Amino acid sequence: MALTRIILWLGNSFVLCAGLFILTALLAYVTADFTSAIRLSGLALISGVIGALFITLTFNTPGRESNSEALLFLALFWAIIPIITALPFLFLEASPNLLSAYFESVSAFTTTGASRLVPEDLPPALVFWRALLQWFGGVSITTFAIVILAALNLTGTGVHKSMLFTLKKGALFERLIGIGRLVAAVYSGLAGVAILLMVIGGTSVFNAICLALSGISTGGLTPQSGPLTHYVPPFAATILGVLCVLGAMNMALLWDFTRLRSWRSFKRILFNLEQRVVWVLMSALALIASVFSGLVNLPNSLLDSIYFISTAGFQYDVLGIDMVPNVILISFALIGGSALSTAGGIKIMRFLLLFRHLGTDLGRLSHPSRIVPVKLRERRVPDKAFLSVWMYFFAYAVAFGVGIAAFGATGLGLEDAIVTSSASLTNMGPLLYVSLPESDLSYANFTSAQMSVSIALMLLGRVEILAVLALFMPAFWRQ
């Protein structure tokens, strides 16, 4: 295994982080927060020097990589980069120690949206850093799904595959830059339009920027505490809801529309199989919420449902989906969003595949000799391909159960442990606040052990569970 290849691309990642530090430092200069600007500039210098050193020492490394190297880079990227991006929380004195800062960084970078911090107590530069980190995480999530997970085909059924992106075996890392730029351009363009519309709708420029970056990445961190209705007008909140839906959409469809700009591609975005399921889930949750909170709250419940199903988890008003029983909210969170998107959870496509396979198996009960192929998107899916989907479900269930047990071992009650485990693993941190546990548990009250468990689950949910399990196989390290 050529570790120099991995170090080279970790160096590139450090240089990219330096660019993000510089951008945040410029905002600090604009807001006259010169102390934060100087510290962020220092972090940019440190990150840039380390990255340049890694690149220089490994510049002549071989130009091709194996699947094992790509998988190891994926795991190291998600574990190491949050350490660098955690430094602003520590050096700007928002977090008391490195573990707390790492928790904030992982939460933002995995677009989970769990935070121990109060936005009003933070300097504007750090509030912007959280939003920018969510956007960076969203771009990274989608890029890795398109490039590395698609190439490794860990799901076996093409959940991560896209006809728009052709990848050559052994040239994965080079494609990270090209695909990353494409994804960043699409997400930046959508966020830019949303910022303009939200400002026109009455939102302050700073709040609009932070919310747009968080919305397109389905992150969930907000620039102010409390429901959005306190500082975001209804029109701007609706624009944010549309942005969350776009962030939870399949990137292949968004790129198709951006490239073709045709009515056919627009219909594919709105009415493809995955998106039809999204509309059904949003409508169902809104109706359920209106039953528990009253029909008068249906508009607010609908907006909250859009935020929730997209896994952003923003809360528009006090009365809405927070009245829905926890078991229903957890079920919706576990389903997640579309493949090749920033949304968390198991992913809708996997459920669709299993339901199609279930229908075929039920048909075989009455006609054992009947041959009924499973088709999805007009393509036949072989029976052996479903093994990996079942393996993913099994691994996800085991991780969920282990997370519950781990949180229980740290002192949480059963209900709190279930909610917290699902919020962390599905990368939907606001689920903890929406579910309103009777113990009044909050992330600010987390102990060091509870933060550590949550960090592990947040990373596990983003790296893909089967990818992590592969790292523990002896055969992986013998390659």
146 in a structural domain? no
427 in a structural domain? yes
- The confidence band for 17, taking pLDDT boundaries of 50, 70 and 90, is very high
Query: Can you read off the two tokens belonging to residue 105?
Result: 């960084």
d(CA 456, CA 449): 11
386 in a structural domain? yes
472 in a structural domain? yes
d(CA 195, CA 424): 28
The helix, strand and coil proportions of the chain, stated in percent and rounded to the nearest 5, come to 70, 0, 30
- The confidence band for 461, taking pLDDT boundaries of 50, 70 and 90, is confident
Measured in whole angstroms, the distance separating CA 80 from the mean position of its chain's CA atoms is: 17
pLDDT value at residue 62: 64
Decide if pLDDT at 453 tops 90: yes
pLDDT value at residue 130: 95
380 phi/psi in degrees, rounded to 5: -80, 135
- The confidence band for 82, taking pLDDT boundaries of 50, 70 and 90, is very high
d(CA 307, CA 319): 14
Average pLDDT over residues 208-235: 92
Number of domains, the chain: 1
Distances from the Cα of 235 to the Cαs of 158, 250, 274, in angstroms? 38, 25, 27
Average pLDDT over residues 213-231: 91
- Residues 6 or more apart in contact with residue 231 via CB below 8 angstroms: 203, 204, 207, 224
- pTM of structure: 0.89
**For residue 371, which amino acid is it?**
I
Residue-averaged pLDDT of the chain: 83
**For residue 11, which amino acid is it?**
G
Residue among 425, 206, 215, 190 at smallest CA distance from 312: 215
Which residue range is the domain that position 448 belongs to?
348-478
Instruction: For 18-60, write each residue's pLDDT tens digit.
Output: 999 999 999 999 998 999 999 999 999 999 999 999 888 877 7
Specify the DSSP class assigned to residue 63.
Answer: S
- Residues 6 or more apart in contact with residue 33 via CB below 8 angstroms: 123, 124, 125
Instruction: For 347-370, write each residue's pLDDT tens digit.
Output: 888 888 777 767 666 666 666 655
pLDDT value at residue 240: 94
Annotate 223-271 with DSSP letters as a single string.
Answer: SSSS-GGGTS-HHHHHHHHHHHHHHTS-HHHHHHHHHH--HHHHHHHHH
Q: 150 vs 8, which has greater pLDDT?
A: 8
380 in a structural domain? yes
- The confidence band for 223, taking pLDDT boundaries of 50, 70 and 90, is very high
Decide if pLDDT at 3 tops 50: yes
Angle at 389 between CA 408 and CA 220, to 5 degrees: 55
Q: Which has the minimum average pLDDT: 75-84, 152-161, 212-221, 281-290? A: 152-161
455 in a structural domain? yes
The residue to which tokens 């790296």 are assigned:
463
d(CA 102, CA 205): 28
Where do runs of H (alpha helix) occur along 31-113?
34-57, 67-91, 98-109
225 phi/psi in degrees, rounded to 5: -80, 160
339 in a structural domain? no
In the chain, % of residues over pLDDT 70: 81
352 in a structural domain? yes
The residue to which tokens 């004195």 are assigned:
93
- The answer to whether 88 and 61 are in contact (CB under 8 A) is no
d(CA 339, CA 158): 10
Annotate 93-133 with DSSP letters as a single string.
Answer: TSSSSHHHHHHHHHHHHTT----SS-GGGS-HHHHHHHHHH
Decide if pLDDT at 166 tops 60: no
Q: Which has the minimum average pLDDT: 54-68, 174-188, 423-437? A: 54-68
Where do runs of H (alpha helix) occur along 110-233?
124-144, 150-152, 172-200, 205-216
3-class SS letters over 313-343: CCCCCCCCHHHCCHHHHHHHHHHCCCCCCCC
* DSSP H/E element including 374: strand 374-376
Instruction: For 118-164, write each residue's pLDDT tens digit.
Output: 999 999 999 999 999 999 999 998 888 888 776 665 444 455 555 44
Specify the DSSP class assigned to residue 468.
Answer: H
The residue to which tokens 């959005």 are assigned:
228
pLDDT value at residue 23: 95
pLDDT value at residue 342: 85
Q: 464 vs 242, which has greater pLDDT?
A: 242
- 379: helix, strand or coil: strand
Query: Can you read off the two tokens belonging to residue 57?
Result: 């020492």
Decide if pLDDT at 192 tops 50: yes
